Structure 1
Amino acid sequence: MLFGIEWDTSSNWAFAVSIFPILLKGLLVTLQATVLGFLVAMVLGLILAALKSARLAIISWPAKFITEFIRDTPLLVQLFFLYYVLPEHGIVLPAFLTGALALGVQYSAYLSEVYRAGIESIPRGQTEASRALDLPPVRTFGFIILPQAIPRIIPAMGNYLVSIMKDVPVLSVVTVLEMLNVAKIIGDRTFNYLIPLSMVGLIYLILTIVASYGVRYLDTHLPKRGIPLR
């Protein structure tokens, strides 16, 4: 029994049906961690990209160093640091939140490069024209450059969304009961790993296909000349 639900091991089909509600509970945790981690990565990645694009070296160089440090250290090390080291300094976070933050921080470094590529693809003449019109840099970045850059980087961002989703099982090392960890527990208790792991693999395949379709839809329907802001 797991999550208060019993499973039937009398036949393969009955076993699969009985564990499906349990896997759905793990799926919900997987989706929540994916969405929260991706939101953190998008926001932090955009901040890092903006800082790295600054003309002042005292701003851009620390941002570049932080990006390289995050990108060149394993996700598992960052996860252990947040979960085991921060409590020693009085910062205690729930396991789920710690895992989602670790995912967000790790992928923010990759998304910052995606943002940078999109920003650099915009003709520099638009930035120069904004300066000639005496527009504030923040307004230029937020209302002129970024709306044109986002449609160009949708496919790359979609790839990292799928990567975050497939990295969620790493959170099981800090006791997060995501879908794969739930399947492993079911296998440990029933000595039947084939069915729960196969079901998890099939669910991940469906999620990946749906996410890929969503990314293609956005890439097709977003205007290439920029997102209109009202």
Structure 2
Amino acid sequence: MYHDHVRRDKLTSKAWFLGVLALVIMAVGVMGGVGHTSLGGLIAPIAGGLPGGEALVNVWVALALALFLTLNVYLLGQLGMRLQVAAVWLEVFSLFALFFYSFDLSYSFILGKLAFLVTQGVATTLYISAMSIAIAFVLAMVGAIAKLSDNGFAVAIASFYTSFFRGVPLLIQIYLIYLGIPQLGYVIGAIPAGVAALSLCYGAYMTEIFRAGIMSIPKGQWEAARSLGFGPMRTLGMIILPQSLRLIIPPTGNQFIAMLKDSSLVSVIGVWELMFLARTQGREEFRHLEMLITAAVLYWLLSIVLERVQAHLERRLARAHQH
């Protein structure tokens, strides 16, 4: 979305908005019983000396919270765009950190297991995801071309493929491949089964992304290339696909991030990826929460890295399109 250069008052500076925000926060706090939470315990000694005392402690705590959050929104609204984004990120991250800190976690246990989770779990997760996205990319390209062709057999097979693998839950697909293929006389390993399921599932989703990207290019460019003597594959590879990549990359990047998280499902067939190790390592000393939170943070960090890579690719393709 383009930045709006029309000057106008910020919503966070308007008295009516701040008043409504404060009332909403206070109402939610009162109905949610914020006075009986750990936050209420911090303010209760002060609220006890106010009119109504202990009977209205919930109201006073909710009022204090509403005033604090409303003032915070107002002050953040006065910052520039970059500072505002950084400040909000820092505040939300701090709230998450406080939330996890309240769990009384064993950080020594986390540090003791972290290296193993990274070297074994993260490495396996990245390996499975990279293999799966590469295969899914090829499947999506073939599927998109097939669905756009005028060959009835190709259209039928591609449409059946996308219908089935988008319509059946990924977990069932993993079990069908891992347990079903041996019924045909071929024993498949856990990692190949997981890669096959992820590739087929996300290849089906990406087929529609590729098809939409190719169809977004005006038909006249295809016709012009064909009139110059270009063959279908040469036209597709040199004219159509380079232009459609600018539209294909963003949703494909999102699919890669989703696949990275969905790779945790292959843990059900015994693959030693991040989620599997987090469960097994936490089970040894009944430290499930420590390992699950650690796994969540590692998945998040991997997703952030992929988001940066995706943003870099989008900028490069946007510059190339401008030239």
- Please point out which of 81, 97, 109 is paired with 1:15: 109
In structure 1, the partner of 2:151 is: 56
Q: Distance in 2 between matches of 1:212 and 1:77?
A: 28
Aligned 1:1-230 pairs, distance under 5 A: 12-24=106-118, 25-223=120-318
**8 Å CA contact retained: 1:152, 1:224:** no
TM value normalised by structure 2? 0.64
Which range moved further: 76-85 or 107-116? 76-85
Larger radius of gyration: 2
Greater RCO structure (CA 8 Å; 6+ sep)? 1
Q: Distance in 1 between matches of 2:143 and 2:112?
A: 46
Would you say how many aligned residue pairs link Structure 1 and Structure 2?
218
| Structure 2 residue ranges without an equivalent (≥5) | 1-104
Q: Distance in 2 between matches of 1:57 and 1:108?
A: 20
Secondary structure at the aligned position of 2:158 is classed as helix
Secondary structure at the aligned position of 1:177 is classed as coil
Q: Distance in 1 between matches of 2:185 and 2:225?
A: 46
Q: Distance in 1 between matches of 2:109 and 2:153?
A: 60
Q: Distance in 2 between matches of 1:39 and 1:170?
A: 19
| Seq. identity, % | 35
Which range moved further: 203-212 or 54-63? 54-63
Secondary structure at the aligned position of 2:186 is classed as coil
4+ residue runs of structure 1 moved beyond 6 angstroms? none
Compute the displacement of 1:59 (Å). Answer: 2.3
Q: Distance in 2 between matches of 1:69 and 1:128?
A: 33
Compute the displacement of 1:225 (Å). Answer: 5.9
Compute the displacement of 1:13 (Å). Answer: 2.8
**Alpha-carbon deviations, 1:184-223, whole Å to 9, x = none?**
1111111111211111111111111111111111111114
In structure 1, the partner of 2:95 is: none
Q: Distance in 2 between matches of 1:20 and 1:129?
A: 57
**8 Å CA contact retained: 1:121, 1:149:** yes
In structure 2, the partner of 1:4 is: none
Q: Distance in 1 between matches of 2:212 and 2:319?
A: 15
Q: Distance in 1 between matches of 2:157 and 2:132?
A: 23
Secondary structure at the aligned position of 1:93 is classed as coil
RMSD of aligned alpha carbons: 1.8
Q: Distance in 1 between matches of 2:154 and 2:294?
A: 48
Amino acid at match of 2:243: Q
Amino acid at match of 1:192: R
In structure 2, the partner of 1:5 is: none
Secondary structure at the aligned position of 1:222 is classed as helix
**Alpha-carbon deviations, 1:105-149, whole Å to 9, x = none?**
000011000101110111101111122122211111112111111
Q: Distance in 1 between matches of 2:302 and 2:150?
A: 41
TM value normalised by structure 1? 0.89
